[in-house]
Amino acid sequence: MTRSISILGATGSVGASTLDLIRRERDQWHVAALTANCSAAELARLAIEFDAETAIVGDESCLADLREALSGTGIKAAGGARALCDAAARPVDITVAAIVGCAGLAPVMAAIEQGGTIALANKEALVSAGDVMIAAVAKHGAVLLPVDSEHNAIFQCLQGNNIADVRWITLTASGGPFREWTQAQLDAATPKQAVAHPNWDMGAKISVDSATMMNKGLEFIEAHHLFPVGLDRLRIVVHPQSVIHSMVEYRDGSTLAQLGPSDMKVPIASCLAWPKRMETGCAPLDLPAIGTLQFCAPDEGRFPATRLARDAVHAGGAAPATLNAANEVAVAAFLSGQIGFTQIAAIVAQTLDGSIGSAPASLDEVLDVDAAARQRAQEILELL
């Protein structure tokens, strides 16, 4: 039976992997909407290939190019923030939410309010607006399926079990490309080095987050909202091989782990086929060839981002949204050559020092906190 799908962020790494899976079972999917921030030519190419009903660019300045590229195809073109939310609100069997950063907040909420199934790849949505979004999921009867490999692994390990029986949830981290670097090397790290992840093929922002370990800090906060076992039962372990994607230990001493290749098509396929399974084309896991699996505790001296994230979620209120916004500003500044690698965490810490306010109670309040935090982070940047 044909299933309908909308992909928010179709030209990014998660969007590309999702479309690659759809290619394998093309006759089983109807593509309703594809979106991108701009990338009009690439978005149009994908829309034509997958016979999408509509294509949307978040940046309205790219809309004319998109319309020209789709001229004569019968595929509708639209642009702007409102159009993104309209696409997310379309009644489809599954919406893949893969817009990176806080820009994905409103579309994710629109998809939730539609009451459908959302494959969530935008971790920033739950970090900044976790309480608001989880409440909306319950109110509208939506289903959230986690796409992040770690959260998808936890989701799989929890199936058929009672969350009350969980003793520990362990998020694994590769440690990024700088895991064994000295402090002096970290101080001199370049954007090119930071985006060269040893195990995963990801976009620039997420790759830098992995290098700083902020990615794992954000995932810690996300896990807190997705799997309500209590903050004291969540922990992070560095696992350089990225073979075990996360683990759940139960009170009887049993630990369930999800293993797989370092390929996002595996967790995406888990969401697309849920509660069934589908082919991914990924090579089988060859444990004898891997040989050894290593584990160690995070070094929060060299990589303080996980501590900052843990402190933010413990503090609650506006702190998690402030953390996320400041990190986005700092990472963008690093990628543009404005600051050094180790200044990313420093700017986040300074922005958090001025964070006050209660927990946002609505999406508008989340966006207000986000805007204020970005302004504070920019002011800190200007003083450097």
From 146, 171, 187, the end of a domain falls on 146
Please indicate, yes or no, if residue 330 is contained in any of the structural domains.
yes
Residue type, 18: T
Residues 6+ apart with CB under 8 A from 103: 37, 58
Same domain, 194 and 342: yes
171 touches 219 (CB < 8 A): yes
Q: What is the domain range of residue 117?
A: 3-146
Count up the domains in the chain and report the number: 2
For residue 69, the domain's CATH number is 3.40.50.720
Q: What is the predicted pLDDT for the residue at 18?
A: 98
Residue type, 266: V
Same domain, 210 and 90: no
Q: What is the predicted pLDDT for the residue at 358?
A: 83
Same domain, 135 and 208: no
Alpha carbon 189 to its chain centroid, in Å, reads: 24
Residues 6+ apart with CB under 8 A from 259: 243, 244, 245, 285
Same domain, 196 and 142: no
Q: What is the predicted pLDDT for the residue at 143?
A: 97
Please indicate, yes or no, if residue 36 is contained in any of the structural domains.
yes
Give the whole-angstrom CA distance, residue 249 versus residue 258.
12
From 89, 123, 146, the end of a domain falls on 146
Residue-level pLDDT, tens digit, the chain, 384 residues: 899 999 999 999 999 999 999 999 999 999 999 999 999 999 999 999 999 999 999 999 999 999 999 999 999 999 999 999 999 999 999 999 999 878 899 999 999 999 999 999 988 889 999 999 999 999 999 999 999 999 999 999 999 999 999 999 999 999 999 999 999 999 999 999 999 877 666 778 889 999 999 999 999 999 999 999 999 999 999 999 999 999 999 999 999 999 999 999 999 999 999 999 999 999 999 999 999 999 999 999 999 999 999 999 999 999 999 999 999 999 999 999 999 999 999 999 999 997 777 889 999 999 999 999 999 999 999 998
Please indicate, yes or no, if residue 234 is contained in any of the structural domains.
yes
Same domain, 138 and 89: yes
Same domain, 315 and 170: yes
Q: What is the predicted pLDDT for the residue at 200?
A: 67
Same domain, 127 and 244: no
Short-list 43, 32, 36, 95, CA closest to 69: 43
Please indicate, yes or no, if residue 277 is contained in any of the structural domains.
no
> How far, CA to CA in Å, does 56 sit from each of 62, 303, 384?
10, 38, 38
From 112, 146, 180, the end of a domain falls on 146
Same domain, 140 and 165: no
Q: What is the predicted pLDDT for the residue at 103?
A: 83
Q: What is the predicted pLDDT for the residue at 309?
A: 97
Please indicate, yes or no, if residue 237 is contained in any of the structural domains.
yes
Same domain, 48 and 120: yes
Buried b (16+ CB within 10 A) or exposed e, 1-35: eeebbbbbbbbbbbbbbbbebbeeeeeebbbbbbb
Please indicate, yes or no, if residue 192 is contained in any of the structural domains.
yes
Same domain, 233 and 355: yes
Please indicate, yes or no, if residue 153 is contained in any of the structural domains.
no
Same domain, 168 and 133: no
Same domain, 222 and 371: yes
Residues 6+ apart with CB under 8 A from 133: 108, 109, 112, 125, 126, 225
For residue 335, the domain's CATH number is 1.10.1740.10
Give the whole-angstrom CA distance, residue 58 versus residue 62.
8
Question: How deeply is 92 buried, as exposed, middle or buried, from its count of CB atoms within 10 A (0-12, 13-18, 19+)?
Answer: buried
Residues 6+ apart with CB under 8 A from 42: 11, 36
308 touches 352 (CB < 8 A): yes
Please indicate, yes or no, if residue 361 is contained in any of the structural domains.
yes
